[in-house]
Amino acid sequence: MRLDQYYVYPTCSPSRVALLSGRPPSRWGILGPIAGKSTLALPPETVTLPRILSRAGYETAITGKWHLGLRPEFGPWKYGFDHTYGSLHGQVDQYTHHYKFGDVTWHREGTFTEEEGHATDLIANEAVEFLRSKRDKDRPFFLYVPFTVPHYPLQKPETWTAPYNDAIENESRRLYAASMTHMDDAVGKILAALEVEGIEENTLVIFSSDNGGQEQWQGGADQYDGRHGPNDVLGDNRPLRGWKGGLYEGGIRVPAAVRWPGHLAPGVFDQPMMIQDLLPTIAGLAGAQSPSSVEGTPLEERPFYWRTGRALAVRQGRWKLIHHGRTLAEGNDELFDLVADPNEKMDLAAKEPAVLKRLWKSLEAQASADAPIPPRPRRRGDRSPARPRREPAGGGSGSELK
């Protein structure tokens, strides 16, 4: 069943927080990718999906990219996973498995390790091995398989690029297509393992991207020792507007599907849903207790909320408000009717003051629950006063309209 209006966050770490915690990542100040040597991490005491399922008797495993803490003390083994394999960092070289600045990050069961092979193959093979031999077959399981592709650096042998040599002229797009095909093949191997094990009809499979497609990647000589990049063309989110990192639909509305033979009929589910919905949904199916505050809330009434270091947004029903500003006290607003205008071509902020006011209240309520946002560092010689806050049309607190 294809999920036609499935929302995530505009970058990777925040989407992973939302998946595993069922809460907005901004509650912990995680507004973008955890990168470099950052000490930012999801707090280890967080109630996570694997912890919830463990208490319900499930065996839990991750094979792939973690990206919610870059040091061993914040590895997945600290958050409820019984078996762990893959990379702590994002943006790893597909063959050396090192982070872009050379950090060793590939691990098995909490210990750093060096292995040979493309990351896509290693992640898939580990997932298949878990299904066929590592798990306790007398227990139910939760297996989380976050692949590293099609994130850069794009590295593919001729086996995967050859089918596109004549069809795609641009080298970056050709590598991107090959990466997607390689991942598709890897997913097929995992599905085949479920069939071989005779558990296909007793296993719910969920596939999701973690953010919208990225337009391009510039790279740099300080990354991967200058071996990779740049890529002039990567993803393509058309007809949706925007890219990875932004709060237009192209950055946050992504491909997703669920598969449960004998339980879910093939088709399209076209109601809006968000990645946080998975925790209470999975917990409910597993008979586990969920801490999620959205249980019992009518689907059409609950707000979807996003925050990056540059903007905030909320969707409620057919309406979506994007506030371009680091905080609510600065910036400007755009308002879109996603039913009539799913590609966000017409800003209605000036024409729908009552709707704007209502969504502003929702946005303020969500932002008030976030972790404090540190003040923007002032540049040397910058003596300008803070930008004054203005009220949106129709009254209520807000900032100047676009």
The SS3 of residue 206 is strand
CB-based burial label for 131 (10 Å; 0-12, 13-18, 19+): buried
* Count of alpha carbons within 13 angstroms of residue 239, beta-carbon side: 5
**Three-state DSSP class for 98?**
strand
Q: 64-90 burial, b for 16+ CB within 10 Å, e for fewer?
A: bbbbbbbeeebbbbbbbbbbbbbbbbb
Q: Strands 2-3 and 268-269: what pairing?
A: parallel
- Catalytic residue flag (residue 324): no
Sheet holding 2-3, edge to edge: 205-208, 256-259, 2-3, 268-269
Judge residue 41's burial from the number of C-beta atoms within 10 Å of its C-beta, 0-12 exposed, 13-18 middle, 19 or more buried.
Answer: buried
Comparing CA positions, the residue from 46, 47, 39, 98 lying closest to residue 69 is 39
Q: What distances in angstroms separate CA 79 from CA 53, 89, 116, 290, one per listed residue?
A: 12, 16, 27, 16
Distance CA 308, CA 328 (A): 12
Cα torsion at 268, 269, 272, 273 (round to 10°)?
-120
Residue 185 one-letter amino acid: D
Please check whether residue 133 is in contact with residue 154, taking contact to mean a CB–CB distance below 8 angstroms: no
Count of C-beta atoms within a 10 Å radius of residue 8? 25
- Catalytic site includes residue 67: yes
3-state secondary structure of 285: helix
Single-letter amino acid, residue 299: L
67, 97, 118, 323: which is the annotated catalytic residue?
A: 67
Residues 6+ apart with CB under 8 A from 44: 73, 74, 78, 79
CA distance 89 to 221: 19
**What is the length of the chain?**
402
The residues annotated as belonging to the active site are 12, 67
